[in-house]
Structure 1
């Protein structure tokens, strides 16, 4: 069995996952790949750090007194924990907005304790529980700050989304007219670009100096540092993004995306990594990411120990007993020079 990710039940391979990987430096040079590094991909929520750039560039974050943790929350696919919900509500209050102004919809939060607490209290799910409520609240705050319509902010024609499109085009080095557009799960525009361009975006998030304008580089640095300083706001307890940013302590900025996307920027090397699991499974993305880091020589015994459950992800049965493992089985291809 030669697929890149193998799922074992006991000693037997039960399932496999095909993957695509692009490793790019901040100049746009492809360094390594696996599968198709040019695969057109909706990076989904992995684009959130770039969607947050206008919040800084327009002066919204400064005007409403954003803390670093709130900037991190603007990039989040959060678990709906108390810290996330309270921060979103605080942003809305400072912008003189209501929770009903959020157009992200709602869903059962990843944090089951919060959901159980809500049910016991007889409450109902509201938009603040959405994993995208941090992004939506900050886009709304930007519209308020610039005196723009708050009821149509998800539309691609809205200035909020046009600013986002401009950022993605420049940072990921792709013309706006070549960006495929559709609708994300939370109702906002979602952007389809080649995987290697997404990797370039993360390389520049890790090392923005000299790649974009000074003001945009400063915004990217602020967002990058906020995410690494407050990883619990980007994701939540027992989440890959939180755990890896903590383990690498200021050297990796990372963001998950739906349908099996995982992206990382390596600060000291100025490189970006973008991974897409072909079948959209998120159980393979963390394992693939850890294997890419290993092959690039990033990490050591201490980080391996902290992240061991992502290197060989356990397969658990209904009694929470380990009965298998998810393992990587691929070798990156060096780019042909």
Structure 2
């Protein structure tokens, strides 16, 4: 049985991964798919652009003088580089909160040099190093602006989270009562929807003018433009989201999620793409995403060559030698009418 992804060690097949893909237009119609386009999926951090909508709609971003880079950071799963951390601390200062107010927990950042520098200085990790600290600072900013309890902002009953739930239901066109709720890695609610509905959300993020509610349309446009103008804030150095948005120069808005989720919106066509690797292994996500773009005719070989390591991610040994490659191995299908 064919699998969507093949992992080669040398010229020999070693492992495979299954994938699910949904491609929808700005009306929410399924155009292409692979696997189960309606697989119920926790889109994890791919939902961050929608979780940032209340930051705009409540007036918090304006009140606290958010710059486009700040808004982009509120959608980030950042690498914890210095320019990420310093901006989060600046936001906290503007909203009158200390770093201890962040309830995202902490972890070793993807930017290992930042972690090594911390060790050399004899200091410990703090919440600002968390890849979700930008999102959490945005949630705090909204609570402060609305004069709400900040100590409980991450709980599902809190108005901050209820506004987010309403936005996700609206933008993804899925009933609020059907959205599965659990807890994300950073402690806030995480939302489970059909993959096709997540793709629809990204179609609307890419072309927010299709959203009838003007304030929401403007909020989505602000978020999209901020991510596109500051892709480095969304991920960081050598990160797929950041590099994809940079190379496609304003055409694609992208956001990854944990457990091998990747979502992309195409500004030019209004197409939304949502991908889930069945086993949650993230090593193959970019290969699937780039294959989807190729099959949809989005981009060209000149662009693909600039991000070649994402098209066919290398398999490296401990010496960092390339000893294999990860290849996509599927064909998108149109729905049967």
Query: Do residues 292 (structure 1) and 292 (structure 2) align?
Result: yes
The equivalent residue for 2:56 is: 56
Q: Distance in 1 between matches of 2:334 and 2:296?
A: 11
Q: Distance in 2 between matches of 1:325 and 1:124?
A: 37
Runs of 5+ in structure 2 lacking a partner? Answer: none
For the residue of structure 2 that corresponds to 1:46, the secondary structure is: helix
Native 8 Å contact 2:26 2:210 kept in 1: no
The equivalent residue for 2:203 is: 203
What number of residue pairs does the alignment pair up?
337
Native 8 Å contact 1:27 1:211 kept in 2: no
Question: 1:1-337, aligned counterparts within 5 Å?
Answer: 2-337=2-337
Deviation of 1:209 after TM superposition, in Å, equals 1.1
> Could you tell me the TM-score, scaled by structure 1's length?
0.99
For the residue of structure 2 that corresponds to 1:117, the secondary structure is: helix
- Residues 87-107 of structure 1 show CA distances to partners (whole Å, capped at 9, x for unaligned) of 000000000000000000000
For the residue of structure 2 that corresponds to 1:144, the secondary structure is: helix
For the residue of structure 2 that corresponds to 1:298, the secondary structure is: coil
Native 8 Å contact 2:204 2:210 kept in 1: no
Deviation of 1:173 after TM superposition, in Å, equals 0.1
Q: Distance in 1 between matches of 2:335 and 2:34?
A: 10
Native 8 Å contact 1:33 1:333 kept in 2: yes
Moved more, 201-210 or 14-23: 201-210
Q: Distance in 1 between matches of 2:148 and 2:330?
A: 49
Q: Distance in 1 between matches of 2:159 and 2:36?
A: 34
RMSD value, Cα: 0.7
Native 8 Å contact 1:170 1:212 kept in 2: no
Deviation of 1:210 after TM superposition, in Å, equals 2.9
Native 8 Å contact 1:53 1:167 kept in 2: yes
Q: Distance in 2 between matches of 1:323 and 1:143?
A: 50
Runs of 5+ in structure 1 lacking a partner? Answer: none
Deviation of 1:26 after TM superposition, in Å, equals 1.0
Native 8 Å contact 1:49 1:75 kept in 2: yes
For the residue of structure 1 that corresponds to 2:210, the secondary structure is: coil
Deviation of 1:302 after TM superposition, in Å, equals 1.6
> Could you tell me the TM-score, scaled by structure 2's length?
0.99
Native 8 Å contact 1:203 1:266 kept in 2: yes
For the residue of structure 2 that corresponds to 1:140, the secondary structure is: helix
